[in-house]
Copies of this chain bind each other. A is one copy, B any other.
Amino acid sequence: MQTGSPSLPQVAALIGEPARASMLTALMAGKALTATELALAADISCQTASSHLAKLVGAGLLQVLKQGRHKYFRLRDGQVAGLIETMLNLSISLLPVNIRTGPPDPALRRARICYDHLAGELGVRLYQGLQQAEFIDERDAQASVTEKGKAFFQEKGCDLSALERRKRPLCRACLDWSERSHHLAGSLGQWLLEDILTRDWARRQPDSRVVLLSPTGEKALYRNYPLAKQ
């Protein structure tokens, strides 16, 4: 399938089909998934999944990677992920005020992956802590790293100048789905999540967006990074 040039309603309609929306949100975890995994996630047969996936790839929302007899699908880039997150945010804010509970799973509220960076309560507290420590400066709901912050992150082993050379913005404030407040996105946000995972402070729960901190990992996180109070 080669749709060519999807217009606004076409893109929206692609996301608007429940099965496809399930697949897309499943891919929000940032991992590439196979066609069958996505069929399971959306609770449909794999024939149906195949046709949906062909449409999503044809429109350019998904990238596909063939590996042996498997086909791995992932979101095309952060822009697509950003759109999904924006829509999630909007659909939350459309809810009547008193029912805004956020995701039902408490672990998901606590810490989860938003495409490639940390979201949830911990993500928000980390972002606020970085601000309070004046490592990050937020003006007009936009963020940048301060001189003090540059020193801090470099000391943590982050090659900021390498990150800055990328096309992607270093530091972006991403509105949190469950917390209704910002967390850190951009390439620095990505680096931070990777740092937390490679130091083995936390593990990703398989097949979900949940990030699970070990008790020692949690302590280490508190020692190494400034977190705002609850």
Contact = CB atoms under 8 A, between A and B. Distances in A.
A99 interface: yes
B14 A16 contact: yes
Interface residues of A, number: 48
A18 B16 CA distance: 12
A106 interface: no
Interface string A113-141: 00000000000000000000000000111
Contact of A91 (B8, B91, B141, B142): B8
A1 B196 CA distance: 47
A9 B5 contact: no
Interface string A71-103: 000000001101110111111011110010000
Interface of A: 4-18, 20-21, 25, 59-61, 79-80, 82-84, 86-91, 93-96, 99, 139-144, 169-172, 186
12 contacts: A5-B96, A11-B87, A12-B15, A12-B87, A13-B17, A59-B94, A79-B90, A83-B90, A86-B86, A140-B143, A140-B169, A142-B144
